[in-house]
Amino acid sequence: MANKIVLLGGRGMLGSEVYALFAEGNITALDLPQFDITDKTQLAEAMGDCDVVINCAAFTDVEKAESQSALAHKVNAEAVGNLAQIANRKNIYVIHISTDFVFDGKKAGSYAETDPVNPINVYGQSKLDGEILLSQNHNLYSIIRVQWTYGKNGNNFITKLISLSKQRNSLKVVNDQFGSPTSTIEAAKVIKEFVSKKSQGIFHYAAAGRASRYEIAKFVFEKLKMKTELIPCQTGEFKTAAQRPLNSSFCCDKIQTLLAEPIAGWQKPLETFLETL
């Protein structure tokens, strides 16, 4: 029998791609302002008689989270705890999306699921608290941590780069933050596989490979033939409210064993995305 799916955060950057993949199926997408995940009654009603909940809803503004820590915690942690309790009562399979920001970024190599967590900002702490509350209140779930995602329906590093480059002759980009730009279309496909296999546990998912933000910017500018001068710099040169992990690289060996296709390198999906702009 087909799954009855409820998708939370269905208008967000990742959620909208998940919705697009399931558009033919039995899926209900919910998001602000009509649906608020922090409203327990609304949440219970939304989860009604579904078999699967995909939670892409989150307070994702890393800078604002520093000054709005109560709201970040309510959305990213408390609400996930409530969701877990409802899911547990109804035996609903939950796919919850989390982040590389649960780590401090000080590791030399790529992060495995077993590496110790240590968030260095409010957003990361709130997402980690959400993971913990889910695991304490439910058994039938997967947590998929993603990193450096980009897509057409949201603000992200790639779209910010392009819009800034249109306003300036030169752009400083950090060359000491490492990760892998990851397409939300590719991440949505992974989520779809999880829905059919009901895989359980914590998983890391990112495009294959590793690059600094500066290297990624160079790739984007070359592909788009942009003339803006790129200047490499250090994270410390930018004053931000939230600290950023310097290393966001994921080891994706665990999730790869479950997936039908090998995870592609970051370049090809990014090139395809750039062609759509």
Ligand X SMILES: NC(=O)c1ccc[n+]([C@@H]2O[C@H](COP(=O)([O-])OP(=O)(O)OC[C@H]3O[C@@H](n4cnc5c(N)ncnc54)[C@H](OP(=O)(O)O)[C@@H]3O)[C@@H](O)[C@H]2O)c1
Does 146 engage in binding with ligand X (CB under 6 A)?
yes
Point out the catalytic residue in the list 123, 150, 205, 214: 123
Does 204 engage in binding with ligand X (CB under 6 A)?
no
Does 37 engage in binding with ligand X (CB under 6 A)?
yes
HSE-CB at 228 with a 13 A cutoff on CA atoms is: 24
Number of residues that bind ligand X (CB under 6 A): 28
Please select the residue that binds ligand X; options are 12, 179, 181, 245, rule is CB under 6 A: 12
Shortest Å distance, C-beta 14 to ligand X: 4
| DSSP tag of 75 | I
> How far, in Å, CA of 269 to CA of 191, rounded?
17
Residue 206 — φ and ψ, nearest 5°?
-155, 160
> How far, in Å, CA of 128 to CA of 124, rounded?
6
212: nearest Cα among 260, 177, 253, 164: 177
Q: Give yes or no for a contact between 271 and 222, defined as CB atoms under 8 angstroms apart.
A: no
Shortest Å distance, C-beta 236 to ligand X: 21
Please select the residue that binds ligand X; options are 85, 147, 165, 199, rule is CB under 6 A: 147
Does 178 engage in binding with ligand X (CB under 6 A)?
no
Q: Which residue is nearest to ligand X (CB)?
A: 12
Please select the residue that binds ligand X; options are 29, 60, 77, 180, rule is CB under 6 A: 60
Whether residue 123 lies in the annotated active site: yes
Please select the residue that binds ligand X; options are 14, 65, 94, 173, rule is CB under 6 A: 14
Return the number of the residue (85 or 169) whose C-beta is nearest ligand X.
85
For CA atoms 230, 231, 234, 239, give the dihedral sign: negative
Does 273 engage in binding with ligand X (CB under 6 A)?
no
Structure tokens, 170: 């030169």
Q: Give yes or no for a contact between 200 and 166, defined as CB atoms under 8 angstroms apart.
A: no
Shortest Å distance, C-beta 170 to ligand X: 25
Q: What share of the chain is helix, strand, coil (3-state, %, to 5)?
A: 40, 20, 40
Please give the positions annotated as active site. 123
Enumerate binding residues for ligand X (CB under 6 A): 9, 11-15, 31-32, 35-38, 56-60, 75, 97, 99-100, 127, 146-149, 154, 156
